[in-house]
Amino acid sequence: MSPRYTDVVAALPATVPFVGPEQQERAMGRPFAARLGANESVFGPAPEAIAAMERAAAQVWKYGDAESFELRAELAALHGVGMENIVIGAGIDGLLGTLVRLLVAPGTPVVTSRGAYPTFNYHVAGSGGALHAVPYRDDAEDPDALLDAVRQTRAPLVYFCNPDNPMGSWHGAARVQAFIDALPEDTVLCLDEAYADFAPPDTLPAMDVSRPNVIRMRTFSKAHGMAGARIGYAIAHQDLIAAHARIRDHFGVNLVAQAGALASLRAPDWLAQVVAQVADARARMADIAAGNGLRALPSATNFVTIDCGRDGAHATAVRDGLVARGIFVRMPFAAPENRCIRVSAGRPEDLDAFAAALRETLRDLG
């Protein structure tokens, strides 16, 4: 006797998109000296956000506001849209899950890039969708290839991350807008803008909620330093946002996270400080890479992807050498991008530890 799983679930392997650093620490029997693999903000949340969450903790016996009314009102004013154009979720990961459930049934074609954010693929697989992945071009997502795949498969959903994870690359607003304009009207674009706060000014297209087939996702996990709170939001046409209400977890965003996110939005000076610290860290990581004969790719995110100069096997050895020396980093999954490692922005002491471990690792690898 066993549970009667759905055919889709019964056929899936047991998997998670990422092996967490905590699991790796348990396996090693010691903590990491520098946690630079998950694109978290080691600079933390604004003091105002911490204080707001501490105050909210005393009220945690309550369910969080199912409509996230105050937070949505603040975000609507920030982005110049209506409250009806915003939905709050448990980070972008949670919002991706809801979006996929809205659009993907067993056998539904879905388009993404090979090696792009794996949690999106995880949700598509969980709904039984058929992923069609196109390769990166010059270490960046390829809008032309994505568009061709959409047209060939008639996919109702396409995923595009800009700036991109795991490569840190980005396309300008004009290129992204041209991609939007060329999409079939019945294909929804999931535009993942998790790293929008770090992007150059000409990266993000104008906010336009008149199109029913574009949904833009943002998060408090990166620049706002609240990855552990699990809170993000999506902006879209009111009809697409309203559809989320049919299936979303209405109490899935906790009261403490809502309070922290609202306070963080009201602390723009802290956000600007974090963005500046990240820029300094990217420059330092580029210098560290160059000093070891490696190359840091240009980045519009809070991480740097470093080309290790050979193939995936060599990059894996570099990553493993760093992990063994107490430095948590990750690497892209798909070739040829897997010739690289990916290192999150860190504090000076984190980067000092990274520099020493990288030098030792490369010396031992020869």
Q: Where are the domains positioned within the chain?
A: 7-44+269-365, 47-267
Query: Would you state the pLDDT for residue 16?
Result: 78
**Which of 1.10.10.10, 3.30.360.10, 3.90.1150.10, 3.20.20.80 is the CATH number of 7-44+269-365?**
3.90.1150.10
* Cβ atoms < 10 Å from Cβ of 216: 22
Give the pLDDT confidence of 166-175 residue by residue, as tens digits.
999 999 999 9
- Enter the tokens of residue 252: 């899935």
- Enter the tokens of residue 51: 């204080």
Is the domain covering 47-267 a CATH 3.40.50.300 domain? no
Low-confidence residues in the chain, pLDDT < 70: none
Give the pLDDT confidence of 30-40 residue by residue, as tens digits.
999 999 999 99
Query: Would you state the pLDDT for residue 54?
Result: 98
Of 280, 273, 354, nearest to 43 (Cα)? 273
* Residues ≥6 apart with Cβ < 8 Å to 194: 92, 161, 165, 217, 218, 219, 221, 222, 232
